[in-house]
Amino acid sequence: MTTTDYLINAVFVFVVLRQARERKVDTRSFLAPMAVVVYVGHMYVHAVPTAGNDLVLVGLLVCVGLALGLLGGFATHIRVSADGDALARVGWIAGALLIAGITSRLVFVYAVHHGAYHAVSTFSISNHIGGAAWPVALVAMALSEVSVRLVTVQLRARRRAGSQVSATIAIPAAA
């Protein structure tokens, strides 16, 4: 892992910490992070390895990313402002899940570069996993985690804002 990779992960942690402040959920709050996801995917994933059990590893880590993303998306606090705008804020649980995903990937890569290489290599050989599968699987985990979390927050915010509008319309009609 290069210094650039560590800096990219540090930026991700900063983004998580920044999301602890309440922010408006709109198209911009969705498209900007998704553009980063597409850029990171383009930067790191050039081909998906298919030899041996490479796809199993990629699929497994994508599922872990999906689970973390869903849990993080549902743990994100969403409310509707007086103006009818949906506002989201990452709470302790959602933040901890985001940091757990980032940290787990960093710790794995750090461990491989500082003594766990032979254990991972032995595991990979015995399970028919190629060396190219690990970076793709870790990046795919991150991309699926971020994407699913963004989509979940967007859908929850739209649903919450829509139910808030229908509730305010129904109140005068009932009175």
At residue 170, the pLDDT reads: 46
Distance CA 81, CA 79 (A): 7
Contact 158, 80 (CB under 8 A): no
pTM of the entire predicted model: 0.83
125: Cα separation from own chain's centroid: 29
Q: Write phi, then psi, for 88 (nearest 5 degrees).
A: -125, 150
Task: Render the burial of 17-51: b for 16+ CB within 10 Å, e for the rest.
Answer: eebeeeeebeeebeeebeebbeebeeebeeeebee
Q: How many CB atoms lie within 10 A of CB 168?
A: 11
pLDDT in tens, 94-136: 889 988 998 898 899 889 999 999 999 999 999 999 988 999 9
160 has a pLDDT exceeding 50:
yes
Q: Where are the domains of the chain?
A: 3-174
